[in-house]
A and B are shown apart, each in its own frame.
Chain A
Amino acid sequence: MNGLDQVFVRLCHWFAGLFPASVQPLIACIVAITAIMVVFASCFALTTIVERKVLGRMQNRFGPNRVGPWGLLQPLADGLKMLTKEDIVPYSADKTVHFLAPLALTVPIWLAFAVLPFGRNMTAVNFNSGVLFFFAVGSASELAVFMAGWSSQNKYSLIGAMRAIAQMISYEVPLVLSTVPVLMLAGSLSLNDIVAAQGTYTIGGLARWNVFTPWGLAGLLLFLIAATAESNRSPFDLPEGESEIIAGFLTEYSGFKYALFFLGEYLGLFAITGLAVTLFLGGWHAPFQWLEWVPSWLWFAAKFGALIFLFIWVRATLPRLRLDQLLNFSWRFMVPLCLINLLVAVAWYWSGAWKSVVAMPVRWLLCAALIALPYHWLGRALRSASQSPRKYIYAE
Chain B
Amino acid sequence: MLNEIAFLLCASIILAGAVGAMMLRNLVHCALCAAGAFAGLAAIYLQLNAEFAGFAQLLVYVGAVAILIVFTILLTRSTELQPGAVHHSSSWWMGLLVGGLVLACLVGSIMSSPSLVRLPSQPASAPVKGIGEQLMSQYIMPLETIGLLLTSALLGAVVIAVREPEKSDPPAR
- A interface residues with partner B (beta carbon < 8 Å): 94, 97, 127-129, 132-133, 135-137, 139-140, 142-143, 146-147, 150, 165, 169, 188-189, 391-393, 396
Contact = CB atoms under 8 A, between A and B. Distances in A.
A148 to B, nearest CB: 12
Contacts of B26: 94
B67 A146 contact: yes
B67 A143 contact: yes
A132 B56 contact: yes
A393 B55 contact: no
Contacts of B167: none
Given A97-B29, A128-B127, A169 B67 contact: yes
Contact of B62 (A128, A132, A133, A140): A140
Interface in B16-30: 26, 28-29
Given A392-B172, A393-B162, A140 B63 contact: yes
A309 B163 CA distance: 44
Interface string B54-74: 111011001110110011001
A361 to B, nearest CB: 34
Contact of B52 (A129, A146, A391): A129
Instruction: Classify the interface of chain A: helix, strand, loop or mixed.
Output: helix
Contacts of A129: 51-52, 55, 128
Contact of A146 (B70, B127, B129, B163): B70
B59 A393 contact: no
Nearest to A26: B2
A128 B165 contact: no
Interface-central residue, A136, A137, A140, by most chain B CB under 10 Å: A136
Nearest to A169: B67
B10 interface: no
Nearest to B2: A26
A147 B162 CA distance: 28
Nearest to A394: B163
B14 interface: no
Given A127-B51, A128-B127, 20 more contacts: A94-B26, A128-B129, A129-B51, A129-B55, A129-B128, A132-B52, A132-B55, A132-B59, A132-B128, A136-B55, A136-B58, A136-B63, A139-B62, A142-B63, A143-B32, A143-B62, A392-B172, A393-B163, A393-B165, A396-B172
B29 A139 contact: no
Closest 4 CB pairs of A and B: A139-B63, A136-B58, A136-B55, A132-B55
Interface in B123-142: 127-129
Contact of A128 (B29, B128, B162): B128
B35 interface: yes
A132 B64 CA distance: 15
A257 B42 CA distance: 28
Given A143-B35, A146-B67, A136 B28 contact: no
A155 to B, nearest CB: 13
24 contacts: A94-B29, A127-B51, A128-B128, A129-B51, A129-B52, A129-B55, A132-B55, A133-B55, A135-B59, A136-B58, A139-B58, A139-B62, A139-B63, A139-B64, A140-B58, A140-B62, A142-B67, A143-B63, A146-B70, A150-B28, A165-B67, A169-B67, A393-B163, A396-B172
A147 B64 CA distance: 15
Contacts of B74: 150
A391 B165 contact: yes
Contacts of B162: 393
Contacts of A128: 51, 127-129
Interface in B116-173: 127-129, 162-163, 165, 172
Contacts of A140: 39, 58, 62-63
A139 B51 contact: no
Contacts of B29: 94, 97
A135 B58 CA distance: 9
Nearest to A165: B67
A128 B49 CA distance: 11
B32 A147 contact: yes
A271 to B, nearest CB: 15
